[in-house]
Amino acid sequence: MTATAAIRQALALHGGTPVRPTLLPYGRQTIDEADIQAVVDTLRSDWLTTGPKVNEFEEAFAAWVGVRHAVSFSSGTAALHGAAFAAGLGAGDEAITSPLTFAATANCILYQGAKPVFADVTPDTLNLDPERVRSLVTSNTRALLPVDYAGHPAEIEAMLEIAERHGLTVIEDACHALGAKYRGRRVGSVSHMTVFSFHPVKHLTTGEGGMVTTDNAGFAETLRKFRNHGISSNARDRQREGQWHYEMVLLGFNYRLTDVACALGLQQLTKLEANLARRREIAAQYTAAFRGMPEILFPAAKNEVLPAWHLCPIRLDLQKLSAGRAEVFRALRAENIGVNVHYIPVHLHPYYKERFGYRGGEFPVAEAAYESLISLPMFHGMSDGDVEDVVRAVEKVAGHYAR
Ligand SMILES: Cc1ncc(COP(=O)(O)O)c(C=O)c1O
Orientation of helix 272-290 relative to helix 384-401, angle to 10°: 30
pLDDT of residue 322: 97
Pocket test for ligand 1, best of 194, 199, 203, 309 (most atoms within 8 A of CB): 199
Burial of 383 from C-beta contacts in 10 A (0-12 / 13-18 / 19+): exposed
Q: Rounded distance, CA 331 to CA 169, Å?
A: 44
Binding pocket residue ranges, ligand 1, CB within 6 Å:
75-77, 101-102, 104-105, 147, 173, 175-176, 197, 199, 210
Q: Check if the beta carbon of residue 79 is closer than 8 Å to that of residue 171.
A: no
List C-alpha distances in Å: 243 to 17, 49, 240, 329, 355: 68, 18, 8, 59, 47
What number does the ligand 1 atom closest to the CA of 148 have? Answer: 1
Complete edge-to-edge strand list for the sheet that includes strand 373-376: 296-297, 312-316, 373-376
> How far apart are the CA of 307 and the centre of ligand 1, in A?
17
Q: How far is the CA of 187 from the centre of ligand 1 (A)?
A: 16
Q: Kindly give the confidence (pLDDT) of every residue in the chain, 403 residues in length, as a single tens digit, with 9 standing for 90 and above.
A: 444 444 568 999 999 999 999 999 999 999 999 999 999 999 999 999 999 999 999 999 999 999 999 999 999 999 999 999 999 999 999 999 999 999 999 999 999 999 999 999 999 999 999 999 999 999 999 999 999 999 999 999 999 999 999 999 999 999 999 999 999 999 999 999 999 999 999 999 999 999 999 999 999 999 999 999 999 877 777 777 888 888 999 999 999 999 999 999 999 999 999 999 999 999 999 999 999 899 999 998 999 999 999 999 999 999 999 999 999 999 999 999 999 999 999 999 999 999 999 999 999 999 999 999 999 999 999 999 999 999 999 999 999 999 9
Contact 27, 400 (CB under 8 A): no
Write down the pLDDT at residue 73. 98
Q: Which of 73, 77, 194, 344 to mutate to test the pocket of ligand 1 (most atoms within 8 A of CB)?
A: 77
CA distance 29 to 310: 12
- Residue 5 has a pLDDT of 45
Show which residues are catalytic.
202
- The pLDDT, as a whole number, for residue 243 is 80
**What's residue 174's pLDDT?**
98
Contacts of 190 (CB under 8 A, 6+ apart): 156, 160, 172, 182
Kindly give the number of the ligand 1 atom that is closest to the alpha carbon of 199: 10
Q: Residue 240 has what pLDDT? A: 78
Q: What is the pLDDT of residues 36-58, one digit of tens each?
A: 999 999 999 999 999 999 999 99
